[in-house]
Amino acid sequence: MLKGLLLDFYGTVVEDDDAMMAEIADQVAARASVPVSGRDVVTAWGAEFEAVASGPRFRSLRDSAMSSLASVMAEVGCVGDPAHLCAAQFRYWRSPPLRPGTREFLSRVTVPICLVSDVDGDDLEAAVAHHGLAFTAVVTSEAARAYKPDRAMFRRALAALELEAHEVLHVGDSLTADVGGAHAAGIRSVWVNHRGQTAPRDVPVAYEIADLSELAEILR
Instruction: Say what the pLDDT of residue 53 is.
Output: 87
Distances (CA, A) of 91 to 38, 87, 94, 123, 129: 21, 6, 5, 9, 14
**Strand order, beta sheet including 137-140:** 137-140, 113-117, 4-7, 168-172, 188-192, 207-209
What is the pLDDT at residue 140? 98
Entry pTM:
0.93
CA angle centred on 219, ends 216 and 220, rounded to 5°:
90
Nearest CA-CA partner of 117 in 160, 87, 85: 160
Task: Extract the residue ranges of the chain whose pLDDT is less than 70.
Answer: none
Q: What is the pLDDT of residue 96?
A: 98
What's the CA gap between 68 and 196, in Å, rounded?
A: 28
Question: Is the Cβ–Cβ distance between 164 and 170 less than 8 Å?
Answer: no
For residue 96, give Cα distances in angstroms to 45, 92, 122. Answer: 21, 5, 14
pLDDT given at position 54: 85
Residue 164 parent element (H or E): none
Name the residue type at position 203. V
Classify strands 137-140 and 168-172 as parallel, antiparallel or unpaired: unpaired
DSSP reduced 3-state for 14: strand
Sign of torsion over alpha carbons 89, 54, 15, 95: negative
* CA–CA distance, 163 with 11 (Å, rounded to integer): 25
For 109, phi then psi, to 5°, come to -65, 140
pLDDT the model gives residue 65: 96
